[in-house]
Amino acid sequence: MEKVIINGGKTLSGTVDIGGAKNAAVAIIPATLLTRGVCRLENLPDIKDVNIMLGTLKQLGAKVKYINPHTYEIDTTPEVDTEVPDELAKHLRASYYFLGALLGREKCASVAMPGGCDFGVRPIDQHIKGFELLGAKVGFRENAMVEVKAESLLGNQIYLDVVSVGATVNLILAAVLAPGLTTIEQAAKEPHIVDLANFLNLMGAKITGAGTDVIKIHGVKQLKGCTYSIIPDQIEAGTYMVAAAAAGGEVIIRNVIPKHLESITAKLLECGIEVDDDFDDEIHIKSDVRPKRCNVKTLPHPGFPTDMQPQIAVLLSVADGTSIISEGVWDNRFRYVEQLARLGASINVEGKLAVIEGVEHLKGAPIKADDLRAGAAMFIAGLVATGTTEIRGVEHVDRGYEKIVEKLAALGADIKREIVPDPAGSLNEVG
């Protein structure tokens, strides 16, 4: 187990490079099963979640060849198992993408009910409804295994009752090889949905409308291998934008798609931060005054991302005035507030609303990362707080941020990692 120690109060300056998108990578890795051929995936982030997905693919029988830390060649020609073992599935919510991918390829799959960051109830009813509409039977076996099976699949019209990233991905995966036309209505529009569709189209799929709320999939007979580079990570980029805004200084965030960051840019501008996004693949942040208050409502894309909610809360904790955050995606995503309170933040949570009275300073203290994005927020809090902040539970953060300690140190943060001889509290829940 490790902890991170930050001596806060230092401004940030320099350039930080953003890696490939975690949530695109964890959908595209299982999607390689839809061909019997070789796919070369580039710009994969070198993070725990990606390694678990690649490990699962290997365990199922695919050949996974390391080329460099961000590039792998995946050969899915061999026969593959259709059961994803519980030890792998429980680490990663995205393991349920093997349901859609294996259903598409082999017409059957079983995966243990996925774990995930604890944001309240995380149902998969929309995935199940969609699989059934495509012709599959869905059952639950012992040990919480979900089993999907079909004699054959056939395209159909699927209306999602909630906008779900996971259900949209799973249904695209299940439908690309199903004869006929599948229409997904009220589909999620996140950049990683578009990236998955672009990857599959390069393999020969016929998917249109990705990035809008109606996706149409004309089933094709087979897909071929391809070489594909994953898009930059919207949330990693947003995290460094908010870190620079909160800690102060001048930072260039490189290898990004500014269009994907518009909702974050808009909120930072409202807070009085200077943001220049008039570049093809960079965003420049300059912050030298106390941020102004603003209200934030999280929504599915193109709304403000729920995965940036804890990070912006840190900025608003030290803003001038009272801000309200309204969580529009998850039932329970304010658990981290307790940790920020230890640093002196003044936040009241009422259901899915948090009212933040900005304070002038946060003060360093021992805190913990409860999950991936909450953990990223604790790093930002440590940068902002005066004195020393010690953060435990950093293994959650390593799931989604490559070399975060090194990247922040290169921007001038006083930050280091230390091993803690404490076996309790190790990684058990991820999302």
Q: How far is the CB of 164 from ligand EPZ (least distance, A)?
A: 3
Beta-bridge partner residues of 210: 212
Cα distance between residue 247 and residue 310, in whole Å:
15
Q: How far is the CB of 163 from ligand EPZ (least distance, A)?
A: 7
Contact between 122 and ligand EPZ by CB under 6 A: the answer reads yes
Question: What residues numbered 330-349 form the site for ligand EPZ, per CB under 6 A?
Answer: 330
- How many other C-beta atoms can be found within 10 angstroms of the C-beta atom of residue 401? 27
Contact between 127 and ligand EPZ by CB under 6 A: the answer reads yes
- How many other C-beta atoms can be found within 10 angstroms of the C-beta atom of residue 301? 19
- Considering the complex, state which of residue 129 and residue 149 has its C-beta at the smaller distance from ligand EPZ: 129
Contact between 260 and ligand EPZ by CB under 6 A: the answer reads no
- How many other C-beta atoms can be found within 10 angstroms of the C-beta atom of residue 410? 14
| N-term to C-term CA, the chain | 19
What strands lie across the sheet with 296-297, from one edge to the other? 296-297, 322-326, 353-357, 346-350
Contact between 238 and ligand EPZ by CB under 6 A: the answer reads no
Strands 249-254 and 282-287: antiparallel
Contact between 162 and ligand EPZ by CB under 6 A: the answer reads yes
Question: Which region holds residue 395: left if phi is over 0, alpha if psi is between -120 and 50, else beta?
Answer: alpha
From 20-28, 54-62, 361-369, 419-427, span contacting ligand EPZ (CB under 6 A): 20-28
Residues binding ligand EPZ: number (CB under 6 A): 26
Contact between 372 and ligand EPZ by CB under 6 A: the answer reads yes
Would you say the C-alpha torsion 181, 182, 184, 190 has a positive or negative sign? negative
Cα distance between residue 360 and residue 277, in whole Å:
28
Contact between 167 and ligand EPZ by CB under 6 A: the answer reads yes
Catalytic residues: 117
Contact between 309 and ligand EPZ by CB under 6 A: the answer reads no
Contact between 373 and ligand EPZ by CB under 6 A: the answer reads yes
- Considering the complex, state which of residue 62 and residue 196 has its C-beta at the smaller distance from ligand EPZ: 196
Contact between 3 and ligand EPZ by CB under 6 A: the answer reads no
DSSP string, 311-369: HHHHHHHTSBSEEEEE--S-S---TTHHHHHHTT-EEEEETTEEEEE--S--B--EEE-
- Considering the complex, state which of residue 165 and residue 268 has its C-beta at the smaller distance from ligand EPZ: 165
Site track for ligand EPZ across 177-196, x = CB under 6 A: -----------x--------
Q: How far is the CB of 138 from ligand EPZ (least distance, A)?
A: 12
- Considering the complex, state which of residue 72 and residue 304 has its C-beta at the smaller distance from ligand EPZ: 304
Tokens encoding 55: 């490990």
Contact between 164 and ligand EPZ by CB under 6 A: the answer reads yes
Tokens 């949330």, residue located: 235
- Considering the complex, state which of residue 248 and residue 300 has its C-beta at the smaller distance from ligand EPZ: 300
Contact between 170 and ligand EPZ by CB under 6 A: the answer reads no
Residue pair 397/369 in contact (Cβ under 8 Å)? The answer is: yes
Site track for ligand EPZ across 393-422, x = CB under 6 A: -------x----------------------
Tokens encoding 331: 């039932």
Q: Which residues bind ligand EPZ (CB under 6 A)?
A: 22-23, 26, 93-94, 117, 122-127, 162, 164-167, 188, 306-307, 329-330, 372-373, 400, 431
